[in-house]
């Protein structure tokens, strides 16, 4: 206790230097906490977005994730409704579930006959009401502006396409797509001059599209489960921006029944995935373990596998690694600054108090006591700096959280409120505070060790 009081008096004796050192600590810790809180909030917002779209887990046919996107018919889940009913009725899974819904992914060629253009697309068939319920998931309070699907309340033959697809299919005008111009139509007579006789004859039989057809009517061509081309007519109700140009140029969404009819025709329909959304993300290991158990018992002949959202959306894990690396760099940089700042303060204190050190040694204080005295001063500086830094960081975080600022996660077009999660993030707060105190103690050790080794006679006659 005496050492603590003496260390406190020594720090108060040179208030300006102590305050300068504390200011460096407070700024460093505040910056670390704010960035840590921002990265934590960003990661949770991204997780919320992905869970709203793909769910926590998906049941798929084996190897569909690697090879099935090019041939959905070969990797379809037959009797999928029975599997969904069993999942919903399972005593282990039922308390954790919020939504269980099927989805069919397929590829094809979308064409606008009236404009004479076509485009390869990646389409998905969904159950609209269940997808809308998935978008209500918000376990972390990261209020999003996710809107219900544009297919809500539309006819069975309706579809939604990316704005890039709308541009390429020349549907900008009817769908009110901005930054778009009408491309000139190709002259069908130019290609027919040198065409073979049979192709020229077929070309001559072509007639313009009916003037009574919808301005947003398109056709999609896809191979059915027997490899035979199948065509369906769709009415595009809206063009949406999906955030990534690569996706925006190929994406199409339709009702599940329409997609199943296109791929499977009159035979029993299938799906390529069953999406499971849980109440909490930390339930994934338990739910996945239970599903693996069902795969080896009730569904052992179905050749199924389970994928989590981190596997389905690799960018999520990559974003976490990026934020972790940046946080580590910032924490290391600030730690080095604090190390040299506290070390410099302690070194100057040793020089100024050389005679005092000699006096303490002369009256019987051992070297360990001198070393302990300066290290306690470093600990006090670190503790007060950590406390003030936490208070400042919490205040600034509260201001940011109530500022109304928003940000859009990668691959999304709707924004999330900008949040800095410092309060309630115990690992971040405790870890950063302990780290600052530890750096302050370590940085005080070298000057303290040097002070303890001063010769008594030399210290007493120091001028």
Question: Mean pLDDT over all residues of the chain?
Answer: 83
Q: Where are the beta strands (DSSP E) in 113-164?
A: 117-126, 158-162
Task: Give the predicted TM-score (pTM) of the model.
Answer: 0.78
- Tell me the torsion sign for CA atoms 89, 124, 148, 408: positive
pLDDT value of position 1:
66
Those residues whose C-beta lies under 8 Å from the C-beta of residue 282, and which sit 6 or more positions away, are none
Expressed as residue numbers, the domain containing 73 is 63-302
pLDDT at 14: 75
Same-domain pairing of 146 and 219? yes
Give the C-alpha separation, 41 to 87, whole Å: 32
β 251-255/273-278 pair status: unpaired
Q: What is the mean pLDDT of residues 400-420?
A: 75
Please indicate, yes or no, whether residues 370 and 407 belong to a single structural domain of this protein: yes
Which pLDDT score, from 0 to 100, does residue 212 have?
Answer: 42
For position 293, what pLDDT does the model report?
93
Strands 229-240 and 158-162: parallel
Residues 162 and 86 both lie in one domain: yes
41 and 71 within one domain:
no
Give domain status of residue 307, yes or no: no
Mean pLDDT of 179-187: 61
Predicted local confidence at residue 225, as pLDDT = 65
Query: Is residue 140 one of the residues assigned to a domain?
Result: yes
Q: How far is CA 55 from CA 286, 320, 385, 426, in A?
A: 15, 19, 43, 27
What's the total number of domains in the chain?
2
In a domain, 54, yes or no: no
Give the integer Cα–Cα distance in Å for 397 and 389.
Answer: 12
Residue 321 lies in a domain: yes
Q: What is the pLDDT of residue 453?
A: 74
Does 347 lie in the same domain as 445?
Answer: yes
Q: What CA dihedral angle connects 192, 197, 201 and 204, to 10 degrees?
A: 20
- Do 360 and 269 share a structural domain? no
The pLDDT value recorded for residue 227 is: 65
Mean pLDDT confidence for 270-284: 94
In the chain, the percentage of residues whose pLDDT exceeds 70 is 85
Q: In the predicted model, what is the mean pLDDT of residues 135-164?
A: 85
User: Which of 302, 336, 354 is the C-terminal boundary of a domain?
Assistant: 302
Domain co-membership, 376 together with 275: no
Residue after which a domain boundary falls, among 270, 302, 334: 302
Tell me whether residue 310 is in a domain: no
Percentages helix, strand, coil for the chain, rounded to the nearest 5?
A: 55, 15, 30
Tens digit of pLDDT for each residue in 14-58? Answer: 778 788 888 888 999 999 999 999 888 888 888 888 899 899 999
pLDDT of 259 over the 80 cut: yes
Output 463 or 283, whichever has higher pLDDT. 283
Higher-pLDDT residue of 218 and 367 is 218
Q: For residue 421, is pLDDT > 80?
A: yes
Task: Name 218's bridge partners.
Answer: 234
What is the tens place of the pLDDT at every residue in 322-376? 999 999 999 898 888 888 888 888 777 777 777 776 777 777 777 777 777 778 8
Same domain, 179 and 255: yes
254, 120: one domain: yes
CB contact at 8 A, 274 and 83: yes
Q: Using the predicted structure, report yes or no on whether residue 84 has a pLDDT greater than 90.
A: yes
355 lies in the same domain as 233: no
Pick from 76-85, 220-229, 275-284: least confident: 220-229
Averaged pLDDT, 440-449: 82
Q: Which of 249, 277, 302 is the last residue of a domain?
A: 302
* Residue 180 counted as domain residue: yes
Per-residue pLDDT, 292: 93
């Amino acid at each position: 206790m005496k050492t603590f009081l003496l260390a406190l008096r020594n720090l108060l004796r040179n208030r300006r230097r102590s305050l300068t050192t504390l200011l460096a600590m407070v700024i460093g810790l505040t910056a670390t906490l704010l960035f840590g809180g921002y990265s934590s909030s960003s990661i949770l917002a991204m997780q919320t977005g992905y869970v709203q779209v793909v769910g926590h887990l998906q049941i798929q046919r084996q190897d569909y994730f690697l090879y099935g996107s090019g041939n959905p018919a070969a990797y379809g889940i037959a009797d999928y409704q029975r599997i969904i009913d069993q999942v919903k009725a399972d005593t282990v899974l039922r308390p954790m579930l919020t939504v269980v819904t099927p989805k069919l992914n397929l590829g094809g060629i979308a064409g606008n006959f009236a404009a004479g253009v076509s485009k390869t697309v990646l389409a998905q068939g969904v159950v609209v009401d269940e997808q809308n319920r998935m978008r209500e998931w918000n376990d972390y309070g990261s209020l999003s502006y996710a809107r219900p699907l544009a297919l809500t309340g539309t006819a069975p033959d309706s579809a939604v396409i990316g704005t890039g697809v709308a541009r390429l299919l020349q549907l900008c005008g009817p769908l009110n797509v901005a930054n778009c111009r009408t491309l000139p139509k190709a002259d069908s007579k130019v290609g027919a001059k040198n065409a073979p006789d049979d192709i020229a004859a077929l070309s001559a039989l072509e007639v313009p599209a009916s003037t009574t057809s919808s301005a947003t009517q398109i056709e999609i061509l896809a191979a059915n489960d027997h490899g035979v081309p199948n065509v369906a007519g769709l009415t595009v109700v809206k063009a949406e921006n999906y955030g990534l140009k690569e996706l925006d140029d190929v994406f199409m969404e339709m009702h599940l029944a329409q997609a199943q009819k296109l791929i499977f025709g009159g035979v029993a329909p299938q799906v390529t995935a069953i999406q499971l959304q849980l109440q909490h993300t930390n339930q994934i290991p338990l739910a996945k373990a239970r599903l693996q158990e069902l795969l080896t018992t009730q569904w052992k002949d179905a050749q199924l596998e389970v994928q989590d959202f981190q596997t389905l959306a690799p960018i999520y894990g990559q974003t976490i690694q990026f934020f972790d690396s940046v946080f580590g760099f910032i924490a290391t940089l600030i730690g080095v600054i604090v190390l040299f700042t506290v070390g410099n303060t302690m070194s100057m204190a040793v020089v100024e108090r050389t005679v005092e050190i000699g006096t303490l040694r002369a009256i019987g204080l051992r070297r360990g006591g001198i070393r302990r005295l300066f290290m306690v001063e470093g600990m006090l500086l670190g503790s007060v700096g950590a406390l003030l830094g936490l208070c400042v960081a919490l205040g600034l975080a509260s201001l940011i959280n109530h500022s109304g600022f928003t940000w859009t996660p990668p691959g999304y077009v709707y924004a999330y409120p900008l949040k800095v999660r410092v309060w309630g993030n115990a690992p971040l707060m405790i870890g950063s505070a302990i780290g600052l105190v530890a750096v302050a103690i370590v940085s005080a050790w070298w000057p303290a060790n040097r002070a303890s080794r001063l010769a008594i006679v030399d210290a007493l006659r120091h001028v």
